[in-house]
Structures are given as structure tokens and as C-alpha cells.
A and B are shown apart, each in its own frame.
Chain A
Amino acid sequence: MRIKMTVASLLAATMLAGAGTAQAETLRLLTWGSYAPEELIQKFEEENPGIEVEVTFSNNEEMIAKLRATGGAGYDLAQPSHDRIYAAQLEYDIYKPLDLSKINTDAMQAKLLDGVKANTTINGEVYAVPHQWGTSGLMADKTKAPDFKGWDDLCDPQYKGKTSMRLKRTILLGTAFAMGEDPFAAYSDLEKYQQILDRVADKLIECKDNIKAYWNSGDDLSAMMLSGEIVASETWDSTAYKLYDQNQNIVFIPPETGALAWIDTFAIPAKGKADDAAYKWINFVLRPENVTIMSASTGAIASIKGAKDLLPEDKKAAVNAAFTDADIDNLKFFANIPPGVEDMEGRTLEKIKAATGG
């Protein structure tokens, strides 16, 4: 009798547990470091009992590599930048079209929404909507490098051994703009783009002598900048804002040829299993009260109307110290990368890294 009871209760327990797992849904988020603050995850899970958020931090290249490896499985929502979706989708088929009726697109800034849509529409289907935007540019310690204003100042001999950059495509594009070229326009003519890249490579190889080291992550960049080992660097604006918080002399400087603007988006992987939860998360993080929490963590500006006013005070001060309205008008949005360009740029970067000029 006793045994029967135990068996019955065990059975009941397993059934309950089974029911529990059937109900609980996991939202597997593939995103950038700091794009999923703990505070927001808790709030979201409270609001949507039964959905559990699981976060993997990554970057543009690794997001594509991860999704490519599984054919778009393993994650339910990804956040690549707007220029990294079109070619990846064409080539590897890793995302599924979005159902825009499930997203509160009315709240988004029309310019950003239309820009992202234009960049990520394939066969009439839209694959991404904007989340936040920010820029890549320069930062400098005002007291030690007061005249810093353009990409090529990184190679100015008066700062020899005191500047840094990340050896990735941003610096290639920035240097091309500083040389008076428009790399984005050259995307349509890859032969011309290769010529530009060759000249950029020569310039950056010559510049190697001036660079202390190439930074790899926001952390080593911050350490070099705060310790005074370098006085200026190529940077993400959000990293510069964080440093401004600790040392008001370190400011973000939009280069005179225009800061390069990126928009991080929401895209749903082809074999994602929690689309509804993904749409809920998209709408949730774009609600004004949540935008402030998100921006405090990321330092980026949300894609919704009036987002600049929703920035936390310290970030607002940093943005105002960095950007004038003219700078904002001068932003250069990253253009869609056509297939093949990544390979050309990769080759150029290798050439620069391997050169022993400096």
C-alpha cells in the first residue's frame, strides 16, 4: 500500500514537472555584451511568467559564424548590426522573415526603421528592425591631445606611441574617408574599392610606428586610456562615454569626415523556437521606461522616437559633450556589405598586421 502511494505520488510529481517544462519557454538571446542588463531580464521574466531568458554575449562576426554553423538554430533572437544581415542571409540563410505586425513599429523613428528595412529586405521580406544606434569615431584626452579631430590624427607623429586602434574594418573605412574617398560608394565597384583598400593599407602600415598596440576589447582600450598610456584612440562612442564618467577630460570626438554610425537590430534566426517570446522581448525593451535602463547599460541610443531624452543623465551629458547637431547631420551610416567585401577587407587587415613597417 505504501509502495503504491509512493509510486502514485512520484508519477504525479513527474507529470507536474513535465507540465512545468512544457509551459516554461526559453528565450535564447544572442547579443552584445551589456545589451541584456540583469535588471531588464528580471523585469521581463516577472511580466511574462513562463519565459526564461538565456543570454549569450557575442559580436557581429561571431553571431554570423555561430548561426552559420547550425543553419540558424540554437538561438531565438539575434542582434547583428544592420549592415551585416543582407549578405549573411543571402549566403547562409540563417534568419527568418519578421512579422512586422507583431512589433510596435509606430514607436520607432521612421528614419532608422526605413533605413534598416531598406538594408535588410530580401524578396520583399523584411529581416530586421532597429534596436539601438551609436557611432564609431575617436576619443582623446583633451588635456594631452587638444587638437584631435580626424581619423588621420591617429598617425600624427606628435602622438607617437600614444595612440591605438582596433584592427578591424572600421579603421579601414575611417581612413578611407580621411583620404577623401567614399568607400561606401565604391562598394558597387569592387575593383575601385580594392584600389582604395590598397592605399588605405599603405597608409596604415606607415602609421604602425605611431600606434602603441591594437586594442581587442573595450576593456583593454579603457585600461590603456585611463592609465594614460595612450592619449587618443579609435573607439566606440559607448566606451568613450563610460570613460567620460570617470575622467571628464576624455571625450568622444566625431571625426571631421563624419562619425561612422551603426544600428544594432533585432533579427530572428531561421530555426528559432520561441518567436512569440522574441517579439515580446523586442517590444518590451523598446518601451520608454525600459529604454533608460538599457541605455544606461549600453551607452547607445534607442531606435524609438525621443530616445535621446530617455538617456540617463550621465550619458546625456557625455553625448552633448561629444555631438553638435552638425555632427549628427554628418553621420555616415554603414552601408550594406556586398558579398565578397569581407574577404577583401580581411586580406587588407592581414597585410597590415603582418607588415613590419613599424
Chain B
Amino acid sequence: MLRFPGGGLMLQKDFKRLAMILLFAPFALWIVLLVVLPHIGMIRLSLREKVAPRVYEFGFANYLDFVNEPIYWNTLLRTGSMSLLVTALALLIGFPIAYYIAKLASNRTRGALFLICLIPLWVSDLIRAFGWILLLRETGVVSSFLQWSGIVDQPVEFLYNDVTVIVGLVYTVMLFMIVPLVSTLDGMDNSMIEAGYNLGGNGFTVLRRIIIPYAMPGIVSGCIVVFMLTAGSYLTPILLGGKNSSWFTEQIYNQFITRFNWEAGAAFGILLLLFTSTVIWLGLKLSGQTLANTVAKS
């Protein structure tokens, strides 16, 4: 039997290419259909001005509205700064935990510890927020306990203020800080720390000169994820926040739902995206990291 020379090879090559395309297709579809297209739609929507019922014109009025109304950009700045605070707190609390899990715990306890961090995530945001409400309300568990133990003689309201919102948010996002940190610290050779001590460094120097620089990619990627999640969260700030606490996502919801102003809502959505992206870009510049060696790696 005579075989066509090279035919098999050709076929194999085509096959490989087809496999590549097939493997890539779901990802490409996901990006295009669920990320790119909706954003193009949002940008188009945000550049529409309503002139009369069912009549629209092209224009930047929605963005000008944002600039001219202090309430809007104040809320955005407030959301941004509180999100940064949440990110910093999550890092402060998360780093020792991650270090313990990655370096100090035995292999067996490590799994258990990871699981303990993970379990709260099995419950939805809403339920977790209600959990906090039950604990912190004036007639809730904490207040009743304080009264029972005689520390206070009147019910205390812990709910409805900014501190509660921050506590709730830190709790919600903690895991997203711990996971990248653990995976980076895990890759660090213990002998590096030993070498640091051998060369006369104390605990603080070793932490500052060896551990933190090594963990930097994990720290940055954890911070990026946590910051994005916090700035875009809706339920926790709404449910735990008080009468003065506004969150930018709430403004977007109000524009879309209460005021039927989809155009302004879309503009706000785009602005939130631009704002968080700028903050992250700044953070990367300041820490000297790139997206490729932080988020993409861990």
C-alpha cells in the first residue's frame, strides 16, 4: 500500500490546530460575550443623553453630571478609601495566618486550617451579613452578652456604622488574601530564612529583607483581588451600613432601578471600573510589580 508522504503529518498538524481552537474557544467566547460585549454596550449606553421620552442623543452629559455633583464623586472617593483600608486590614490580619499555614503548621494541620478559612465561603454573602446583624444589633448576641456580664448597663448598638461595614467586608474578603499569600510563601525555601538568621539578622530584618520581598507577588495579587471585590461589593455595605454610609455600587443601583436612569448608571459603572483600574495601576507602579508576575502567577 502506498501512503501519501507527509499526509499523516499534515493531518496531525491540522488536528493539533483544531484542538487548540477548541480548547481556546470557551475562554474566548466567555471573554467576548460576557466581558467585552457588555462593556461596549455599557459605554454606548453611558454616552447617550435623554432629551425626551424615547428620544436620545449622543453626548457626555452623564459624565458631566458626575463631575458637577459632589455627592457622586464624594461617594466614589469614600468607597475607594474605605476599600483601601479594608485591603490593608485584610493584609495585616491575613499575612500572619498565611505565614503560619505555609511555614509553621504541620502538613496535616495545614489542610484543616485551610478548610477553616474556606468554610465561611460556603455560605452566601447575604447569609453572612445576616449573621453579623444577629450578632451586632442592639438586641443581638454581643450586646446581650455585655449586659449580662455587667460590662455595660444599657443595650449597645454595634450595627449601622462604618466600622461594622469594614469589619464585615474584611471578613468577607479575607480568604482571597490568604490563598495567594499561602501559595507564594509555600514556594519559599526555609533555608533562605535560616541563612538570614545565620548572617546575624533579627526577626524583623528577616521579615523585612527576605520574607516580604519574596512574598511581594502574593501580597500584590491578594491586594488587587481584595480591593476589586470590596469596591464592587453591594450587599455588605447596604445591610450593615447606617443612615450616612453610602457605597458607590448603591448609587449605580439607584440610577438603574429607582431613577430609571440607565444612562447615568452605565456611566457610573464605567467610572468605577476606571477608578479601580487606576488605583491598581498606581499600586503596581509604587510596588514595582507587574500584573504578569503577580495575579497571573498565583
Report which A residues bind B (CB closer than 8 A).
Answer: 61-62, 64-65, 68, 88, 90-93, 167-168, 208, 211-214, 216, 223, 227-229, 339, 342-343, 346-347, 349-351, 353-356, 358
Contact = CB atoms under 8 A, between A and B. Distances in A.
B71 A351 contact: yes
Contacts of B159: 213
B75 A354 contact: yes
Contact of B260 (A168, A213, A216, A342): A342
Contacts of A93: 54
A229 B137 contact: yes
Contacts of A353: 243-244, 246
Contacts of A168: 258
B53 interface: yes
Given A213-B159, A227-B137, A350-B71, A343 B259 contact: yes
A155 to B, nearest CB: 13
B243 A65 contact: no
B261 interface: yes
A90 B242 CA distance: 37
Given A208-B244, A213-B243, A342 B137 contact: no
Interface of B: 53-54, 71, 74-75, 137-139, 157, 159-160, 238-239, 242-244, 246, 251, 254-262
Contacts of B254: 346, 349-350
Contacts of B157: 212, 229
A15 to B, nearest CB: 34
Nearest to A164: B243
Contacts of B262: 68
A349 B242 contact: no
A62 B256 CA distance: 9
B257 A214 contact: no
Contacts of A91: 53-54, 260
A358 B137 contact: no
Nearest to B140: A227
Which of B75, B251, B254, B260 neighbours the largest number of chain A CB atoms within 10 Å of its CB? B260
A65 B257 contact: yes
B266 to A, nearest CB: 13
Nearest to A227: B139
B262 to A, nearest CB: 8
B139 A342 contact: no
Give me the 4 closest cross-chain CB pairs, A-B, nearest first. A346-B259, A227-B139, A354-B71, A213-B160
Contacts of B260: 61, 64-65, 68, 88, 91, 342-343
A211 B243 contact: yes
B138 A227 contact: yes
A90 B53 CA distance: 7
Contact of B139 (A62, A229, A350, A356): A229
A214 B243 contact: yes
Contacts of B251: 350
A356 B256 CA distance: 24
B129 to A, nearest CB: 11
9 contacts: A64-B260, A208-B243, A213-B159, A227-B138, A342-B258, A350-B71, A353-B244, A354-B244, A354-B246
Contacts of A229: 137-139, 157
Contacts of B261: 343, 346
Contacts of B137: 223, 227, 229
B244 A228 contact: no
B256 to A, nearest CB: 6
A358 B71 contact: no
Given A65-B257, A350-B71, A354-B75, A216 B238 contact: yes
Nearest to A169: B258
B258 A349 contact: yes
Contacts of A212: 157, 160
Given A229-B138, A350-B71, 6 more contacts: A65-B256, A92-B54, A223-B137, A228-B139, A342-B260, A350-B251
Nearest to B159: A213
Contact of A62 (B75, B138, B257): B257
Given A91-B54, A208-B244, A354 B257 contact: no
B224 to A, nearest CB: 29
Given A68-B260, A351-B71, A213 B242 contact: yes
Nearest to A211: B243
Which of B71, B75, B138, B258 neighbours the largest number of chain A CB atoms within 10 Å of its CB? B258
Nearest to B251: A350
Contacts of A342: 258-260
A210 to B, nearest CB: 10
B258 to A, nearest CB: 5
A168 B239 CA distance: 16
Contacts of B71: 350-351, 354
B156 to A, nearest CB: 12
A34 B74 CA distance: 38
Contacts of A223: 137
Nearest to B242: A213
Contacts of B238: 216
Nearest to A216: B238
Nearest to B245: A353
Given A62-B257, A343-B259, A350-B251, A358 B53 contact: no
A343 B251 CA distance: 13
Nearest to A69: B262
Contacts of B139: 227-229
Nearest to B255: A346
A74 to B, nearest CB: 17
A217 to B, nearest CB: 10
A38 B81 CA distance: 47
A214 B239 CA distance: 10
